[in-house]
Amino acid sequence: MSLLTFKQGIHPDYRKELTNSEPLKEAIRPKEVVIPLQQHIGAPLNPIVEKGDHVDMGQKIGDTDSFVAAPVHASVTGIVKDIKKVQTASGDKTLSVIIEADEEDKLADDIKKAGNLEDLSADEIRNIIREAGIAGMGGAMFPTHVKLSVPDDKEVDYFVLNGAECEPYLTVDHRMMVERPEDIVYGMKVMMKAVDVDKGFIGIEENKANAIKAMKEAVKGETGIEVKVFETKYPQGGEKMMIKAALDREVPAGGLPLDVGVVVNNVTTAVAVADAIKTGMPLIKRTVTVTGSAIENPQNFICRIGTRIEELIEQAGGIKGKAGKIVVGGPMTGNAQHNTKTPIVKGSSGILLLPPAEVNKFDPKPCIRCARCVDVCPMSLVPVKLSNFAEHSMYDRMEDFSIENCIKCGSCSYICPSNRPLLQNIEIGQAELAAEKRKEE
């Protein structure tokens, strides 16, 4: 069987064997949760509770009138201990609701199942998803109801459910496909109805044989839904890469999948959608891989949103020896942490602990002009030039070389023999360029 793939890319050490056979395990309920009011791309939320309020599990605690936003809910029953700014895994200080948990949880009174999918309109589906606070759980955290709101000037004819999980070490999407394949298909059908399409596929890399088998079994008898198998290569899970490899459609520079008639979502997001429709439960839990050579017992957890990462590390047996680096997310796109008190949010797919021997000693050397970063860039950019332009705030040159098209996969930094901070410089350049454009406007 020929495998679907894209040009360029890299083959890092995936290390998924640490957890890909570990079933999803319910984490111990925390005694206190820290729930940031910004867990999505879009407008920040306003708290709709006050210090001292008693809240029930699933109760909405933060919202806004903005369309591009996803509300947040209490993940435990308890007392609002404080509302203050807390540092999150991204490094930002975000207004957060801190809840001290009661001994037992009580479900919020307004939580109820939505009814039969056949009876729900597209608008009703989008509203249910919005009120459930669902944002992309593959890491992007884009509000799902916004993705499913197709503008009048766009036509969509294909739906893609992304199960590639190409980031090294992470295995929660893999386990979700093995353990909850029927719910993934159900959630996919919900989202397909919301965008009015009747064709779609679930994309999975070949290194997940049992997930491929489970999903193929789950789509049997389903009209218009199939499983497509992709080569194991990073960043195969990038939506632009997957669309090109499977459909031979090229998302234009600066464009979105909508521009080529496609909507893309993640398999774990599909399960959250299924739960919202079937039970009315908002997004208050997520799956997290705790892994790496510096953790005693690598695990895949289901934990409450707002759980501090130190609690999951402890439940995975604690740090083995000494940790040289702790990353929330994966090694390619995650964020290194300077403490372990940051909370799990909707986009936190993993906690990676690496010993000092495995941590790259950041000692950049002069560029040797080998062009390996160009060879591996999945967007056919010139990372070394973008990095240089960004270092010198050369905004026009950054635009000339399409810096906005960088998907921030980190392949360039990974492959660079001189340890140049290519991705870091490009990210700074993107932010500076965006700020400069805002000034001009």
CA distance 358 to 370: 25
Give the Cα-Cα-Cα angle 219, 221, 222 (nearest 5 degrees).
Answer: 60
The model's pTM: 0.94
Tens digit of each residue's pLDDT, the chain (441 residues) = 579 999 899 999 999 999 999 999 999 999 999 999 999 989 899 999 999 999 999 999 999 999 999 999 999 999 999 999 999 998 889 999 999 999 999 999 999 888 889 999 999 999 999 999 999 998 788 999 999 999 999 999 999 999 999 999 999 999 999 999 999 999 999 999 999 999 999 999 999 999 999 999 999 999 999 999 999 999 999 999 999 999 999 998 878 999 999 999 999 999 999 999 999 999 999 999 999 999 999 999 999 999 999 999 999 999 999 999 999 999 999 999 988 999 999 999 999 999 998 886 557 899 999 999 999 999 999 999 999 999 998 988 998 999 999 999 999 999 999 999 899 899 999 988 888 888 887
Q: Is the bond leading into 235 cis (omega within 30 degrees of zero)? A: yes
Question: Beta partners for 63?
Answer: 46
Closest CA to 86 of 59, 47, 113: 47
Secondary structure tally for the chain: helices H, strands E = 13, 17
Q: Which fold has domain 113-279?
A: Rossmann fold (3.40.50)
> Residues spanned by CATH 3.40.50.11540 within the chain?
113-279
